[in-house]
Copies of this chain bind each other. A is one copy, B any other.
Amino acid sequence: MSIRITQLSVRDIRFPTSLSLDGSDAMNSAPDYSASYVVLHTDAPGGLEGHGLTFTIGRGNEICVAAVQSLAPMVVGLTLEEIVADMGAFWHTITVGDSQLRWLGPEKGVIHLATAAIVNAIWDLWAKNEGKPVWKLLADMTPEQVVRCLDFSYVTDVLTPEEAIALLRRQVPGKAQREAQMLREGYPGYTTAPGWLGYSEDKMRQLAREAVEDGWTHIKQKIGANLEDDIRRATILREEIGWERTLMMDANQVWGVDESVANMRRLAAFEPLWIEEPTSPDDILGHASIRQRIAPIGVASGEHCHNRVMFKQMFQAGALDFCQLDAARLGGLNEVLIVLLMAAKFNVPVCPHGGGVGLCEYVQNIALFDYIAVSASLHNRVLEYVDHLHEHFLDPVVIRRGRYMPPQRAGYSIEMTAETLERYQYPGGQVWLDIART
């Protein structure tokens, strides 16, 4: 029985996180974590819906909402059946099919963020219709079925459909075993909770102590505003977490290339596993240069890497030790999958970008599929966890002793509660009316 998408609605949802400096870093001093939140309505009996969101940090969310509205005619009226029959072709059409909208990117910035919200909502719809969480929907596919979801345009010089199938076939043995292992043990995570730049040193020390008590083995520090502060705060973190746990650092793009090298040479004494986003996310050759010059500190980037063509070059140039793809900066799960496969080919571990609002919910599905069916390795792989805003989801992430336990509910784990969607709507929801009044 075919299910038709009858309507797309989109909401501007914002959380006033800037009031507490949650999520503060050297580039983003006071974000209001926000979502352009899409619902695909269908004619299925029982009111089956697909939910998806793209993450922004406040002002400008209204622009993404406008972009979703402009893209809506490309999905309304389609059936789920015809979309998933050749989802690679569908993805190509939504990114390239309206050349007037494509011009605004192409495949980057606002229009690509908006595309991600819609594409991910389709995955949510598909998974709900199959009665599985997205990671399981993917894990149950044959290599050929996965590859049919992909658009290989602009990447065939490093990955052909045939190679992609071969990469996936390689890991078919052991899939069931790894799935059982994940259900039992969960996927290893790390926390940024103590590390936000806007937190006082006392608060940071306290949160680091709690993180250790909670079983976290990997902790990330935000740096980049002031080097002497960074050193002092790293000292506190090492005091609290010891040297047997792992410290990572994240500069959120504030440095130039040579500056990154100079600063990381100073911070090398704290033995960080990686420096994340040392410079412009577009600077592929810059990341490669930094990586060569600061080894053995690894270079991590990807949350602002806007499409598969950029990741392709990151891999070709040897620019990354860790690939931190984002579930909604890339044009939705289809593009994420092709990046997972390229990463596997180049032997770069994928540690997706979490945090924000909903990103942890999304990326647990990605990391689980990556382990079960693509990389089959946990070496150097940790999934970001930030302990904000999970209470707004119907199926929030479950963390046990620093590990993500696989979600069980059908869908992409991204559906917010009805109450949240009402209260946090911007600017008319009660939360924002209350703030405006004070």
Contact = CB atoms under 8 A, between A and B. Distances in A.
A428 B257 CA distance: 49
Given A108-B109, A109-B109, A310-B282, A258 B156 contact: yes
**In the assembly, how many copies of this chain are there?**
2
A120 to B, nearest CB: 18
Nearest to A281: B106
A154 B108 contact: no
A430 B29 CA distance: 46
A19 B258 CA distance: 52
Interface in A72-114: 96, 98-113
A105 B30 CA distance: 17
Given A31-B100, A157-B256, A284 B286 contact: no
A56 B105 contact: no
A318 to B, nearest CB: 11
A318 B206 CA distance: 51
A257 B100 contact: no
A117 B417 CA distance: 39
Contact of A60 (B29, B111, B283): B111
A309 B324 CA distance: 20
Interface string A103-131: 11111111111000000000000000000
Contacts of A259: 156
A285 B104 contact: no
A64 interface: yes
B106 A154 contact: no
Interface in A251-306: 253, 256-259, 279-286, 289, 304, 306
A104 B306 contact: no
Contacts of A284: 284-285, 313
Among all A-B residue pairs, the 9 with the closest Cβ atoms = A109-B109, A110-B110, A58-B100, A59-B100, A157-B257, A282-B309, A154-B280, A28-B99, A60-B101
28 contacts: A27-B96, A29-B99, A32-B100, A56-B104, A57-B99, A59-B101, A60-B100, A60-B104, A62-B66, A63-B67, A63-B110, A66-B66, A67-B110, A104-B113, A108-B108, A109-B109, A109-B306, A154-B280, A156-B256, A156-B257, A156-B259, A157-B258, A282-B306, A282-B309, A282-B310, A282-B313, A285-B317, A286-B313
